[in-house]
Amino acid sequence: MELLYHRCAALDVHKASVVACRLRTLPSGGKEQEIQSFGTTTPELLRLLDWLQAWGVTHVAMESTGEYWKPVYNLLEGHVELLLVNARHVQQVPGRKTDVKDAEWLADLLRHGLLKASFVPGREQRDLRDLTRQRANLVAERTRVVNRIQKVLESANIKLATVATDLQGVSAQAMLAALVKGEASPEAMAELGRGRMQEKREELEAALTGNVREHQRFLLAAHLEQLAFLNRQIDQYSARIAAQINRMSAPPALAGTEAAERPAADPSPPAGTAPPAADPGPPAAPGPVAAATPAPPGSAPAPRLPWTPLPPPTYRAAIALMDPIPGVNSVGAENVLAELGNDMRQYPSAAHASSWTGIAPGNHQSGGKRQAVKTPPGNKALRRALVIAAHGAVRTKDSYFGVLYRRVKGRRGHKRAIVAVAHALLGVIYYVLLRQQPYEELGAHYLDERQPEKSAKRLVRRLRELGYEVTLEAREPVAA
């Protein structure tokens, strides 16, 4: 087989050790290799770097599970070309499976170009990921604390949650603080309502009448203190994320030839016109790109595209582009961009981005039949952000996503319907960022208008199942 890399190495990374194999091609055509184990402390990793550079290693493949690859990657980044290999992919290549043999086998696979590198974003985006993921963890913990507060209130027969929909609101927090002090009567606590809560004084008085003991006041005080701490932490992380996005939104330096950086033409429809419902397969051949300079006199005009290939938007501009999409707010856009990035050219198609996320339908065929399988493993943080956005999108009135959710829910259930909406949302986000065109709502009648005959047959069949005899007659178009 053809040799792609003549000086390469492979690392099998563990918690406390790294097994390394360096390999180089001899002038005679043979190969020479050495295997050595290193620790994972910083001095040991620096010794590993010197050991690799002694042979002039240019490419290094790493196999690791969990978070153990990060310190090794951070230290070697910028000195050699790194390929983080998915252990699940490597297992599909037959070979030897021990620590020493694994590193040797990885080096041999890398030498022949048989390894596929996982996507690892730049250092700034990795820092943004750390911030958004920790903020998401804090928000989840805050929700758990609110649920604990609700349990304590129920044990004291306080039905505040039946009147106040949000226990984190200003009115509810003031009432809970007064409840902890134990000095105010239900009538006095009901007077603390603000806004629309003032119209529910009688209901609040009844809901705040209960049997609150000192034990429950202690629990409520502890939970409220923890809730206030989490709110401060979330605000600090949000401010840090905003500052990080502002730093990453600096205008990129223009290359000498801008045309070389432009992506090939995408033959799929513009953003917002048809969210991808299935894997479109391999991308079509690149189409013509509009000429950057005027055509010579007398020549045929250059073909035009429905969209103009552009460099990737800044992170701040990407958030503004994503904001009109149903279910996507500024926080959701920050979470998606931290995982997906702002440059969609690194994904061959929207289907590849969906598969990498783990939000695409599973694919397994045997004997010409497609088997039911779960969605593939992928980026859990991005999947969570898309599912949260999908829950908001299905509640938008006169929205395509709401109709899609109700159609899938009737056949497959709530969870699969939400995943289908999240899949469609990712396709819309992909094309909005790729083409930098604003989102256009398809409307609630898009699916019916796309295939009117099929929709009519479905409705007629449903009416006949209910015992009605239906005859369809085409209506004459109304004259203008």
Angle at 135 between CA 148 and CA 353, to 5 degrees: 120
> What average pLDDT is seen over the chain?
83
Mean pLDDT across the stretch 230-234? 97
Q: Is the pLDDT of residue 315 over 90?
A: yes
Asked whether the whole model's pTM tops 0.85, one would answer: no
What pLDDT was estimated at residue 298? 46
Give the three-class secondary structure for 97.
Answer: coil
Q: Is the pLDDT of residue 404 over 70?
A: yes
What pLDDT was estimated at residue 246? 94
- CA distances in angstroms from 280 to 188, 359, 427, listed in the order given: 63, 15, 11
Q: Is the pLDDT of residue 259 over 80?
A: no
Q: Is the pLDDT of residue 277 over 60?
A: no
The residues with which 319 forms a beta bridge, in sequence order, are none
pLDDT digits (tens, 9 = 90+) for 326-341: 999 999 999 999 999 9
Q: Which amino acid is at 345?
A: R
C-alpha distance across the termini of the chain, in Å: 71
Pick from 212, 221, 202, 213: nearest CA to 163: 202
Mean pLDDT across the stretch 348-365? 85
The tally of CA atoms less than 13 A away on the side-chain side of residue 255 is 8
Greater confidence, 12 or 131? 131
What pLDDT was estimated at residue 289? 33
Window from 248-257, 348-357, 427-436 with minimum mean pLDDT = 248-257
What pLDDT was estimated at residue 87? 67
